[in-house]
Amino acid sequence: MKETEISILKDRLPFWNRLSSEEKLLLSQNAVSVLYDKHTAIHTADFECIGILLVKSGTLRVYMLSEDGKEITLYRISSGDVCILSAACVLQAITFDVCIDAVSDCDVIQISSAAFSKVMGENVYAEAFAYKLATERFSDVMWAMQQILFMSFDRRLATFLIDESAAQGSESIKMTHEEIARMMGSAREVVTRMLKYFSSEGWVELSRGMVKIRDREKLMEII
């Protein structure tokens, strides 16, 4: 592993300085830099536990997939973030599977689950970090569930558009209605109907493969 990537491990893993020389060597020898193209399925319930992911650039989406193929986006992680649920097999308290795909082209450092599990078993600081991060992510999961169970669809869609605008850094959201529906765990027809209503009110402007926010304040009022 290159020195620059080892430096990233030091920066992203707060327990690094609490590791022994052997533990540092084990993690660095079992960490690889991987490039994922946009829309690549990085992890599913059918894949083996791939380990910890440290995002160098790009954005990953963590979601659940129902038996009938419906997707529910739980949260996203971007440059500087660490994904722990990709190594759920090393966390005994986690008993459900998540899927992860690349929202954009991504460059990540992947630490094998076997190496991380061994370090966790021997180092309380690594174990505490893993469970702390998992707990923080469960807050995101609960927020996603709350939206689905208790929030009206117009509020959910307005929230999605505001969040997606922030993620893309633009008022113009480059996504099709089908992609929005998939990420929200809804039907395309439902999304299209509500977007057309938003458009008729002058809150958004619709074009092929794009939704442009025209009145952010009105969307915020819905939320």
- Spell out the CATH class of 151-222: mainly alpha
Three-state secondary-structure class, residue 133? helix
Rounded Cα gap, residues 5 and 132, in angstroms: 24
pLDDT number for residue 95: 60
pLDDT number for residue 91: 77
Q: Which pTM was predicted?
A: 0.77
Burial class from Cβ neighbours inside 10 Å (0-12, 13-18, 19+) for residue 121 reads exposed
Burial pattern 134-164, b for ≥16 Cβ within 10 A else e, equals: beebeeebeebeebeeeeeeeebbbbbbbeb
Q: Is the pLDDT of residue 49 over 90?
A: no
Across the beta sheet with 210-213, the strand order is: 172-173, 210-213, 204-207
Comparing 8-22, 37-51, 193-207, the range with the smallest average pLDDT is 37-51
Token pair of 168, please? 């893309």
Q: How confident is the model at residue 162 (pLDDT cuts 50, 70, 90)?
A: very high
Q: Is the pLDDT of residue 200 over 90?
A: yes
Domain map (residue ranges) of the chain: 3-144, 151-222
Angle ∠(86,88,94) on CA atoms, nearest 5: 140
Residues with Cβ within 8 Å of residue 155, at least 6 apart in sequence:
147, 222, 223
Residues with Cβ within 8 Å of residue 59, at least 6 apart in sequence:
76, 77, 78, 79, 102, 103, 104, 106, 167
- For 3-144, CATH number out of 3.30.930.10, 2.60.120.10, 1.10.3720.10, 2.40.160.40 equals 2.60.120.10
